[in-house]
Structure 1
Amino acid sequence: MLDAKALHDNAIIFDGLVIAKWNRDLFLDMKKGGLTAANCTVSVWEGFKGTIDNIVEMNQFFEENNDLIIPVTKTSDIAKAKAEGKTGIILGFQNANAFEDQIGYVEIFKKLGVGIVQMAYNTQNLVGTGCYERDGGLSGFGREIVAEMNRVGIMCDLSHVGPQTSIEVIEASTAPVCYSHCLPSGLKEHPRNKSDEELKFIADRNGFIGVTMFAPFLKKGIDSTVDDYVEAIDYVIDIAGEDCVGIGTDFTQGHDKAFFDMLTHDKGYARNLTNFGKIVNPLGIRTIGEFPNLTACMVKHGWSEEKIRKVMGENWVNVLKTVWGE
């Protein structure tokens, strides 16, 4: 039997999506959980200025909590975070809305440290369509945005994107794209979950799949445990292979009802898109500080050390190096 604690302590632990409430308590919990690095959301419905304001706030967090977190703009920063016992923070968007109608903003945000951008969040924007409405596919402007993201080295994320738009982004992109946080509809039918065909399509084209544990999308809902999460990861690996699958928890730690109301309404305030009901993370990994329990569960399920290391972080590092070029 593998020593789960020793393995967790010296492995790269990477979370492909965290949208928690940023504060020192959270950063301390990241340290407790041994989190090496994470894609951290700084834009959902915000436009250019609102997103800039969020990045300014995150820069203040870097300054005030430099004993716990460091910015990540290249994969060597992830290794640096591990060596220093800190958590590396990648700035990420869950919507291309912040680019507004200016292709030049893509490079501006790259220079500010943004490394992963989702093309649409649940509904239509200038780039394409989200998963909660009729999918019109990738727009002509969207093709230009994808090309510019490829050029500057920002990864295209399709987690909340409609199926046709996703296919067209995958086909248009010259760099690997990802579902940073998704679950398979083969285990539970839901507009946010991806079919076996969608998972195979992205994997066959050098894409990446981060598996989420967001309870409303799991087979057993709020009754799920960390074992159910590992089952979902294995389901995806059976389709895509273990070299292009990783973790993307979608931790929302610290947020209140008003935050979820904002997420589940179009543009943050307009028509209601969905109702998640009660939200509680799977038993055993309810907080980021419980991340070691995930590694222990993988060991319990008979995963090899190589498979655990790849899925817990190495796969993410490899694909980001390809997209970022460093």
Structure 2
Amino acid sequence: MTPQELHQDAIVIDGLIIANWSRAIFEDMRKGGLTAANCTCSVWENARGTLDNIARWKQFFRDNADLITPVHTTADILRAKQEGRTGIILGWQNLSGIEDQIPFLKVFKDLGVGVMQMAYNTQNLVGTGCYESKDGGLSDFGREVVAEMNAVGILCDLSHVGSKTSEDVILESKKPVAYTHCLPSGLKEHPRNKSDAELRFIAERGGFIGVTMFTPFLAKGIESTVDDYVEAMDYIINIAGEDSVGVGTDFTQGYDQPFFEWLTHDKGYLRRLTRFGKIKNPTGFETIGEFPSLTAAMLRAGWSETKVRKVIGGNWMRVLKDVWGA
């Protein structure tokens, strides 16, 4: 089977995309053979702002029904594959969208939100982000949030979450949790990257690791290639095992500098948290439409067809089914 044939046959899932959503992006998803993706619809927004974003997604589904379809279950992902469309999992990168209302979790779950990150870079009512100087861990309110997310079937994401809060969530959750998009600090020291110990800790407790190709966090920065991205995946696989790892690109396709300014300031407008510098995706994998080149790079690295199928999407299917139910 050629790399292109394998890519076309496999379930291909991206654990995190935060693109500037448009029909052009959805067309690129189809070009890339993307079966499904966790698509960010809330970062700093409150409940009303998040509802506005979800309403926009409902319009996207109506206007682009030939290209995308909403995902509530893993059966919806299989249906998307059969129909040649991309399944859209709505996801959050912060829990500011529930404000202080735990019942809102079920409301947003019913609207199609299947993944929520506990905190985005800084402190919220639930816990601490990775750019805070002190990590106070999961709050008691946060423990109730985790229990409700488990009950309604929402995946707890820890990608931008502080180390202590992440550890608390991993231990508190009765369902698998995930770093949907991260890289190892063993290859590059960065507040957003995870240590070998953190990667091992989540994997040993049934958690999951999606690997990002965001070049500011890769060892070679903007000089990175798709092969460097696969090398980072292998680094994590050597720690966590090939059954616990998937793709979480963090594609920001279509956005300009003001968007990154919004992302990198606390609450979108307060203190600066970090500077990314020039942002360029890895050579050979610069757009969503180039997803087949990732499969080719995996094979080029000596991966077996079985390993490719697991990491490119099969592992995501398993963990999402564990969290969401049948």
Please tell me the TM-score bracket, short chain as reference: over 0.9
Give the secondary-structure state (helix, strand or coil) at the position aligned to 2:285: coil
Q: Give per-residue Cα distances to partners, 1:66-124, cap 9 Å, x unaligned.
A: 00000000000000010011100000000011010001001000010000000000000
1:266 maps to 2:258: no
TM-score, length basis structure 1: 0.99
Separation of aligned partners in 2, 1:74 and 1:127 = 26
Where does the alignment leave 5 or more consecutive residues of structure 1 unmatched? Answer: none
Amino acid at match of 1:25: A
Separation of aligned partners in 2, 1:71 and 1:39 = 11
Per the TM alignment, residue 3 of structure 1 is displaced from its structure 2 partner at its CA by: 1.1
Identity %: 69
Give the secondary-structure state (helix, strand or coil) at the position aligned to 1:283: coil
Equivalence for 1:22? 21
TM-score, length basis structure 2: 0.99
Equivalence for 1:323? 323
Separation of aligned partners in 2, 1:104 and 1:73 = 19
Q: Give per-residue Cα distances to partners, 1:269-319, cap 9 Å, x unaligned.
A: 000000000000000000000000000011111100000000000000000
Matching of residues 144-159 of structure 1 within 5 Å: 144-159=144-159
Equivalence for 1:119? 118
Separation of aligned partners in 2, 1:50 and 1:110 = 16
Equivalence for 1:186? 186
Equivalence for 1:11? 10
Following superposition, which runs of at least 4 residues in structure 1 exceed 3 angstroms of deviation?
none
Per the TM alignment, residue 130 of structure 1 is displaced from its structure 2 partner at its CA by: 0.1
Q: Cα RMSD between the aligned structures?
A: 0.4
Equivalence for 2:62? 63
Equivalence for 2:214? 214
Amino acid at match of 1:200: R
Equivalence for 1:39? 38
Amino acid at match of 1:218: L
Separation of aligned partners in 2, 1:137 and 1:300 = 41
Per the TM alignment, residue 203 of structure 1 is displaced from its structure 2 partner at its CA by: 0.0
Separation of aligned partners in 2, 1:317 and 1:100 = 30
Give the secondary-structure state (helix, strand or coil) at the position aligned to 1:151: helix
Separation of aligned partners in 1, 2:67 and 2:102 = 34
Separation of aligned partners in 2, 1:21 and 1:109 = 21
Where does the alignment leave 5 or more consecutive residues of structure 2 unmatched? Answer: none
Separation of aligned partners in 1, 2:72 and 2:189 = 36
Amino acid at match of 2:278: K
